[in-house]
Amino acid sequence: MGLSHGYGPAASPADAEALLLGALDRGVTLFDTAALYGFGHNEELLGRVLAPHRSRFMLASKCGIFRENGQRRIDGRPETLRRTCEDSLRRLRTDVIDLYYLHRWDKTVPIEDSVGALADLVRAGNIRSIGLSEVSAATLRRAHAVHPIAAVQSEYSLWSREVEIAVLQACRELGAALVAFSPLGRAFLADGLSDPVDLDEADLRRRMPRFQADAFARNQALLAPLRRMARDLGCTPGQLALAWLLHQGDDIIPIPGTTRLPHLDENLGAVGVRLDAATCDQLARLFDRGLVSGERYGAATQAEIDTEQFPAS
């Protein structure tokens, strides 16, 4: 996403190509995009750069949020999902998308209808498997009754643990993977953000509660013990945060995003960080939800998603 959308200006074509091909050469086998990211720009980028190497990786994209007449829309109607899939296939320069997510559940459309349309795309050979993003356990079960759900993508990290309420367990009961986006807390857990006021005006974090001045100042106190533990283990804070996720189960797939090759190398280094159960428990306690200031999203964005929430403290 960050190559095209969300965190300021898009990466230059040359830098984006170097990053994508560098990831492929380093053994990355899952590339995750969406029609929303740059309103088609990110899919076009992946299509241009990676189509010649299509057999070497698994391709995931998402439907259900797009731009129309200059406005961002959530639309899960079957006819819309079929049309946006056709558009994505064209931009990605591929005949089939391996994993196609409903990016958000359109609450005006029964989840059964949206998933039924995606099931039609599986039968037509346009997509290989179906995923959902930011849904509750109840919605996941309803969807899975229509067609098997291969993966649920939701925010999951040391400081965002809502999936532990119910949806992670539901995934395990149904045999779906949990794909963890923002596993580094949008750079916070990588200790890569000194002051949100320095962020680009278009950066989505400027509008997120956790990155507002008072909350961010309180949250920074959580980083000191993370730094100490990382130093003792011979890794970076970001690698420690990713390693914690990797130790939560083989069915959890973190997808850290980056725009820079050195950050990519750092992220991939987390695979070699070994943690015992006591260290994992200590990390979980350090970022207990009662210690994290601010919600994941503001009220308007929160209303768009279907995930369980912790009671207000």
Q: Report how far residue 36's alpha carbon sits from residue 42's, in angstroms, rounded to the nearest whole number.
A: 8
Pair of tokens at residue 296: 């994941």
N- to C-terminal Cα distance for the chain? 32
Chain centroid offset of residue 4 CA: 14
Buried b / exposed e over 220-241, threshold 16 CB at 10 Å, is eebbeebeebbeeeebbbbbbb
Alpha helices in 149-260 (DSSP H): 167-174, 213-220, 223-233, 237-246
Determine the Cα–Cα distance for residues 81 and 114; give it in Å rounded to an integer: 8
* 3-state secondary structure (DSSP) of residue 67: strand
Give exposure, 48-68, as e/b (b: 16+ Cβ within 10 Å): bbbeeeeeebebbbbbbbbee
Catalytically annotated residues: 37
Structure tokens, 189: 């857990």
Q: How far apart are CA 30 and CA 24, in angstroms?
A: 9
